[in-house]
Amino acid sequence: SYELTQPPSVSVSPGQTARISCSGDALPKQYASWYQQKPGQAPELLIYKDSERPSGIPERFSGSSSGTIATLTITGVQAEDEADYYCQSGDNSSTYGVFGGGTKVTVL
């Protein structure tokens, strides 16, 4: 079955840049999306179609994709960005939701 692979954790100091990778064989043909989930809350869409940001999402969140790797970048990390982040895409056979395992971002 199709899988998306993320690092389990990323640590970053306030004001620095955090980058979270997401690897998947279908990503050259499927758009990636990213979600933020804070403890006790539902996930929230951060990025869709690799790099588009929904209204209300701060500009410090950006996305990119090249080949089999999608990347979420948080520029100028703030304490409130401490959360779990999930990438998601379809796969080439079913185009349904497949999630990465999630990355816990810790703000030092």
Partner 1 sequence: EVQLVESGGGVVRPGGSLRLSCAASGFTFDDYDMSWVRQAPGKGLEWVSGIDWNGGSTHYVDSVKGRFTISRDNAKNSLFLQMNSLRAEDTALYYCARVVATRPSVYYFDSWGQGTLVTVSS
Rg (CA), the chain: 13
- Report the 10 Å Cβ neighbour count for 45: 14
The reply to whether 66 sits near partner 1 by the rule CB under 8 A is: no
CB of 15 to partner 1, least distance (A): 28
For residue 82, CA distances in Å to 29, 47, 78 come to 30, 17, 8
Q: Which of 26, 18, 34 is nearest to 102 (CA)?
A: 34
Angle at 87 between CA 84 and CA 89, to 5 degrees: 155
Q: Which residues 29-58 are close enough to bind partner 1 by CB under 8 A? A: 29-31, 33, 35, 37, 42-45, 48-49, 54
The reply to whether 94 sits near partner 1 by the rule CB under 8 A is: yes
CB of 75 to partner 1, least distance (A): 22
The reply to whether 89 sits near partner 1 by the rule CB under 8 A is: yes
Contact set with partner 1 (CB under 8 A):
1, 29-31, 33, 35, 37, 42-45, 48-49, 54, 84, 86, 88-90, 92, 94-102
